[in-house]
Amino acid sequence: MKAALRVDHGGFVLDIELAVEPGQVLALLGPNGAGKSTALAAIAGLVPSVGTIELAGRTLDAVPVERRRVGYVFQDYLLFPHLTVLDNVAFGATKAVALEWLERLGIADLAGSRPAQLSGGQAQRVALARALATSPDLLLLDEPLAALDVTVRDEVRSSLRGFLRDYAGPTIVVTHDFEDVAALADEVVVIEAGRVTQRGQVRGVVREPASPWVARLVRDWAEDD
């Protein structure tokens, strides 16, 4: 997946170039309001943008959301409250495929539950299963751990890492937490106020942070470890 986009972000114009290969996880890291989620929404076609997006041999610029084949896991998951877990996952797939994903993610026993009955970690898995069941060419995760209680975040993060390793397509994860970057990502792009301030492998960013904000984030992460 390659994208070169300009997106109106209210106060400023987000100007960003991204590239991520199948099987790779790219983290979009940045402070709140930097434009990371807007970039994700633009790739999915949820907000208007100027530029080009190439995905699996297709140019997505004029392709509407429903035909982009982009799986999206929202920050608060947005599971349909009127549907069971199985029907949520089967929304964009057959029931057989949905059941298969529920089993792969270890939540088949929740098939008949309603979203309101799920814990944060369970809801996240259901949202992931729902996105993956549509066989997307690209998987987008918007702050996938932010809605979770701190006490379960480490456990959910580690299981998420396992699931993402199994996914063969390219993945982009938006986060403001370096712990997520270190655990989930192969490469990282740092966005601050709509501009890319650093890009490269996670190890490189840890060694040589390019901005005071990243340096502080890396230092705090290293101290916590």
Partner 1 sequence: MRRRSFPPLLWIPAGIGFALLVLPLVGLVVRAPWAQLPGLLTETAVAQALGLSLGTALVSTAVSLVLGVPLALVLARSSDWPTVPRRLVRALVTVPLVLPPVVGGVALLLLLGRRGLIGQWLPVTIPFTPAAVVIAQVFVAMPFLVLAVEGALKGVDGRYEVAAATLGASRFTVFRRVTLPLVAPGVAAGGLLCFTRSLGEFGATITFAGSFPGTTQTLPIATYLQLQTDPDAAIALSLVLMLVSVVVLVSLRDRWVPGVTA
Question: Which positions lie near partner 1, rule CB under 8 A?
Answer: 44, 46, 64-72, 74, 78, 80-83, 91-92, 130-131, 134
200 forms beta bridges with: 188
Dist CA 115 CA 179 (whole Å): 27
Q: How far is the CB of 46 from partner 1 (least distance, A)?
A: 6
Query: Residue 89 or 181: which CB sits closer to partner 1?
Result: 89
Residue owning tokens 């140019």: 59
CB of 182 to partner 1, least distance (A): 28
Looking at the Cβ atoms of 57 and 81, the one nearer to partner 1 is: 81
Q: Find the shortest distance in angstroms from Cβ 62 to partner 1.
A: 16
Give the residue ranges of DSSP H helices in the chain.
Answer: 36-44, 85-89, 95-104, 120-132, 150-166, 178-184, 202-207, 212-224
Q: Closest distance between partner 1 and the C-beta of residue 168, in Å? A: 19
Q: Which amino acid is at 224?
A: D
CB of 221 to partner 1, least distance (A): 31
- Bridge partners for 16 per DSSP: 5
When the beta carbons of 50 and 65 are compared against partner 1, the nearer one is: 65
Please say which residue, 146 or 210, places its beta carbon nearer to partner 1.
Answer: 146
- If you count them, how many residues does the chain have? 225
Smallest gap, in angstroms, from Cβ of residue 144 to partner 1?
14
**C-alpha of 178 from chain center:** 14
Q: Which is nearer to partner 1, 122 or 198 (CB)?
A: 122
How far apart (Å, rounded) are the C-alpha atoms in residues 69 and 113? 27
Alpha-helical segments (H) within 67-177:
85-89, 95-104, 120-132, 150-166
Instruction: Assign 48 to helix, strand or coil.
Output: coil
Question: To the nearest whole angstrom, how small is the minimum distance from the Cβ of residue 68 to partner 1?
Answer: 8
Q: What is the CA radius of gyration of the chain?
A: 17
Q: Which is nearer to partner 1, 25 or 133 (CB)?
A: 133
Rounded to 10 deg, the angle between the 120-132 and 150-166 helix axes is: 20
Q: Which C-beta is closer to partner 1: that of 132 or that of 185? A: 132
